[in-house]
Chain A
Amino acid sequence: MRKVHSVAQVDQAKCIGDRICENICMTGAIRVVHKKAVVDEQKCVACQKCIDYCEEGAIRLVPRSQPLVLRVDLSEVDQDQLEKLCRKAHLHPDDVICPCTATTAGEVGAAILKGAKTPEDISLMTGVRTACGMWCMCLVQEMLRAHGLKTTPPKGYTWYEVDTALWTIPDEVVRKYPEYRLDEARLLFEERMDNQAPKES
């Protein structure tokens, strides 16, 4: 869950329409129209990435009149289905997959079960990926794949599809690099899933 109190605002005089902000924005809130950046206020989560990456200093945050609340009610989805989805993604529903916003795999799963089809949808529904914007990305992609959704990255370089994980490493690579104990790690993952890991701090 995340409550967003501010929103990005573009200084049209400074904007040179270089599309960097469009490519950085993780919720698709910024589009360049007629060589000027335009913010969709309903999609801006005030992550400030556009501000940081804009060399022209053309973007700033201003307060929202009403906070934007990003939250999914887990009780509104089928709990068995939710658990199965998380398990398929090698996660437990209580796993905090986004430490910045404390968003759990369960919340992300609930967003998917309620219709989210892209990382952008999930961010706007749960708040995941809206702070550091990095660490949870592969888990969001894994959850979407686990639900059978094939995602296509947006034009540009906002994000790329990556599916490398412990459980996708070819066996010959596992054998080639025994120093990383990949076999042992896989067993530990499986044991953890079987033991229904307790809720994490």
Chain B
Amino acid sequence: MHQAAATPPRIMPSVSGPELPPCRVADLPGITSLEIRRLFPEVPEQIYLKGEDFSAIRRATENALKDVDMSMIRPHDSVNLLCSEHGFSILEGGPYKEMLRTIKDVVQARTGCENIRLRFSVGSAKSEAREMIAYFGLEKDFGEKIASVGPFDRGVAIETEIGTLYGIARIYDADWIIHAHYDDPRELYFHHLIDRALKPFTMSYARLETRSVYHKNFDSRSSNIVPRAIFESPFVQSKFAFACLLMTSPAGVVDIGADNDLHRLNRRLIINTLKSFGKLIRLFGEIDECVAALDAGRWPWYLHGGGLTSGNLFMAPTDHLDLDICPVRKTGNKLVNSAVKMLLLNYTWRENLHGLLAFYPIIIASREIAEGLSFGVQKRAKMIADDLEQALSAAVQMAGTDKVIVFDGSFGSINLSPSMRDFLTSRAPEVSRKVDEHYLPLWLSQRGIDPKEV
């Protein structure tokens, strides 16, 4: 019997993308769904997957903050609560928003400090922050104490062990900072899960020059020294109060972590990610041919399917968690996974001319969607279909495979075609065995963690 696809998270309307599509890939008759915990039963169960009830997130945040020392924050101090835009792409953004609201409430209640400002960091465009602040109604919780910050804003010099680097002045313009982030394994190929919890200090909270140094003046393994040096600088240490993380597994949000010791929290993040996502990451590496359907609201790299971002498929031929594999220089990252025979675009944000979409054949679901993407993408498209159903049919035919995997923001399950479901299901036991016996012990020990301890 055909199992219907899981309903994917809603897409937030954005000036960065086309008009919202009339139909999602998951709505098509040929698409079904595969629960992650049917593939890998040991994946930690979620405390939140969908819906408007965020009480589990609030409870988990309050619980995580119980043992955090906040005594350094005095009633008349100023506190910057630092958040980053990608957290709002996880499960429609509600869990991250609830975590932020709860942090504010707990800090206020415990310290008497009222001057808690939300610093909303974006990857590049301020318009993203403006529309997200409005969409998520953040003014309701933070009033006028919200500022969007981006890499082109005024900088502040940070003296580090590796030289002078620049943070964004408005990130650090308070007595204290609270680092509020998330752990989903995006951009493994850039950070290799070495200092994932520290990375925002060289990206979200940094000026463009510092981001450039991280990406271009090191290889992807050694570049982890940059966020470490910034975080350990006397300047940042003098302001750092604590960190709080939205912790996920492919099943959904699994917990909230908080600590005054960011390295200890980073270690917890690493263990959680390797144990929760490691098998699915390796399973993506098994895919030999597919049509990848992009159908969610962010850039093509960052769309979740089964809780894992699409970039993990595009970079799947290499095990980016194995620290002995020589990382390529940032100027030479190879973006092509030859197993991806076709990209079907039903929704994604516009990207620069030489972004991911330049590396794959493309079919666009409709003229309306095409017009919301760049002219270059339209020109390169093999076909601009009349509707999504026609687009999927053509993609399957042109790609020569009916294995379809959908990146539509889903956690808990992957929407896919029956043949892809059967393929992944058949490969999962062997992948599971290999990860348990070989990869997980290797990944852990490479990060200084005794596998027996885990």
Contacts and interface: CB of A to CB of B under 8 A. Distances in A.
Interface of A: 23-24, 49, 52-53, 91, 95-97, 99-102, 131-139, 141-142, 157, 159-166, 168-170, 173, 176-177, 179-182, 184-185, 188-189, 192, 197, 200-201
B126 A53 contact: yes
B213 A52 contact: no
B207 A23 contact: no
Interface size class of B (residues with CB under 8 A): 35 or more
A183 to B, nearest CB: 9
Contacts of B224: 179-180
A132 B354 CA distance: 11
A200 B125 CA distance: 28
A188 B331 contact: no
A189 to B, nearest CB: 7
Closest 8 CB pairs of A and B: A165-B217, A185-B222, A164-B163, A138-B212, A162-B209, A100-B352, A137-B212, A134-B208
B447 to A, nearest CB: 8
Contacts of B150: 53
Nearest to A102: B354
B154 to A, nearest CB: 4
A23 B211 contact: no
B221 to A, nearest CB: 6
Contacts of A97: 216, 331
Interface in B132-170: 150-155, 157, 160-166
A133 B225 CA distance: 23
Interface string B210-233: 111101111101101110110000
Chain A CB within 10 Å, residue with most, of B154, B213, B221? B213
A73 to B, nearest CB: 21
30 contacts: A24-B152, A53-B152, A97-B331, A100-B355, A136-B216, A157-B153, A160-B155, A160-B209, A163-B163, A164-B164, A165-B213, A165-B217, A166-B217, A166-B222, A168-B162, A169-B162, A170-B161, A170-B162, A173-B225, A176-B161, A177-B225, A177-B228, A179-B448, A180-B221, A180-B224, A181-B323, A184-B222, A185-B221, A188-B326, A200-B332
A168 B161 CA distance: 11
B163 A162 contact: yes
A41 B448 CA distance: 56
A52 B331 contact: no
Nearest to B330: A135
B216 A139 contact: yes
B209 A52 contact: no
Contact of A160 (B207, B326, B352): B207
A63 to B, nearest CB: 13
Contact of A52 (B126, B208, B352): B126
B431 to A, nearest CB: 27
B166 A160 contact: yes
A35 to B, nearest CB: 20
B212 A136 contact: yes
Chain A CB within 10 Å, residue with most, of B160, B326, B332, B447? B332
Contacts of A100: 352-355
Interface in B317-348: 323, 326, 329, 331-332, 334-336
A134 B212 contact: yes
A164 B211 contact: no
Contact of B329 (A141, A162, A192): A192
Contacts of A49: 152
Contacts of A170: 161-162
B53 to A, nearest CB: 36
A96 B335 CA distance: 14
B194 interface: yes
